[in-house]
Chain A
Amino acid sequence: MNETFAATPAHRYRFRASGVSISRGGVQILSDISLALDPGETAILRGPNGAGKTTLLRAFAGLLRKDGGQALVQTMDGKSVDTADGTIYCGPLNAVKFSLTVDENLRFWAALYNTPPSMIAEARAAFGLDAHGGRNAGALSTGYCRRLGLSRLLLARKAIWLADEPTASLDAAAVNAFEKIVERHRGDGGIAIIATHDALSIASARTIELKTGIAA
């Protein structure tokens, strides 16, 4: 299933969400959210706690049922591809197994994402994890654990990145590195949707404000 994307070094996919409505536990959290992103575009999701940023990203990733509307990953001629195939969601949980080493975690993800093992080194270096490859992930600090979790963005090789609070617990240097990684992804024609409370400097990123209300 991953081959569609593996074959294309530069991403030529666009993202179209229209009229997305989601309720959780019987409470409507988001209603009628629409978002259209073309290759190379970035959107920053902002909003107070409880505004539904995580919910929206998970719904975009196909990990959450929507009440209405649709979120589609399309080729440039309008053909839809499987959402789970075109997106990578990096949430607040890092999906790191503490009793495996950093490299074992990376190799496991690479196998899941059908990424050749030769690309692991690149992802590891991009997030400054080279010195920690053989360490147990449980021994990493919170910040390094977060870096390890974020390295899935590169390993997955998907066109559309859905990052939820990616810079939480990252130091200034790592935030800077993350911004550069997103910039490069943009340059490759990738799309990023990032929910954050931090000030990220990503060129020509669109900001989307989610209004709070009911969910809080």
Chain B
Amino acid sequence: MNGRQAIILRDVRLAFRAGGGSFQAVAFFSVVCVLFALAAGPDLRLMSKIAAPVVWTAALLATLISLDQIYRADREDGSLDVIVATSDELALTAAAKAAAHWLSTGVPLIVATPLLGLLMNLEAGAYAPLMLSLVIGTPALSLIGAFAAALTVSLPRANLLISLIVSPLYMPILIFGAGAASAGAAGDPQYAANLKLLSAATLFAAITAPLASAAALRSNLD
């Protein structure tokens, strides 16, 4: 096992242990969906119409609240020194950290989605587009979020700052992701276009975010 695999394995293990972030993210995701459903009232047609955008927004918010811990916990206990000192290519290590975050937050959210779709009267044909858009889009949320976490790692209580940094960067992901989910459900030809733009955003984040994270980590070392 090389160092980066070890980092992914450890982060996922920590996230699923007691007090880890995975359960909290899924719980928060569910709570937001339920609150939306309660606020929207008993109109089932309205509910099924807004279900996909609500799931996307909730997934984004649940990701957002889990970002702060990506690097902070490692910095506070000294692990970050060890990780930085032992990584030959810090950008790849940053990519591993983002991958671990996606595995421990993004994947549980995707797994929980069908249940919440049921709760919000999501149409039968809308499940696949919604799940597909989440599978393609949530890695970008983790990648961009990990960059913001790296940027603010030396600041105390940076949660609000992280939200401010990532919100504008998350907007295209949300627009294309929710757009793809809605268009796919409606049989709209815009479906493919939205999915392609969403994929492009994820690929762009996969290349740039780890490089930017590495630079941010280095400048935050002192």
Contacts and interface: CB of A to CB of B under 8 A. Distances in A.
A100 to B, nearest CB: 7
* Interface majority SS (helix, strand, loop, mixed), chain A: loop
Contacts of B82: 95, 109, 112, 152
Nearest to A111: B6
Interface residues of A, number: 32
Contact of B77 (A87, A96, A109, A152): A96
Nearest to B3: A112
Interface stretch (A56-64, A166-174, A185-193, A196-204): A56-64
B13 A100 contact: yes
Contact of A100 (B14, B78, B81, B84): B14
A95 B78 contact: yes
Contacts of A112: 3, 6-7, 82-83, 86
A18 interface: no
A99 B73 CA distance: 12
A114 B14 contact: no
Contacts of B7: 112
Interface in A72-87: 84, 87
Given A64-B222, A97-B10, A91 B86 contact: no
A104 B13 CA distance: 10
A144 B7 CA distance: 24
Given A24-B222, A63-B81, A95-B78, A113 B18 contact: no
Nearest to A61: B85
15 contacts: A2-B86, A63-B81, A63-B84, A84-B86, A88-B85, A89-B85, A92-B78, A93-B81, A97-B79, A98-B77, A99-B18, A99-B19, A114-B86, A149-B78, A152-B82
CB-CB nearest 8 A-B residue pairs: A93-B78, A111-B6, A95-B78, A1-B88, A112-B86, A95-B79, A112-B3, A99-B17
Given A63-B84, A89-B81, A104-B10, 15 more contacts: A1-B88, A63-B221, A65-B222, A88-B85, A92-B78, A93-B76, A95-B79, A99-B20, A100-B10, A100-B13, A100-B14, A107-B6, A108-B6, A112-B6, A112-B86
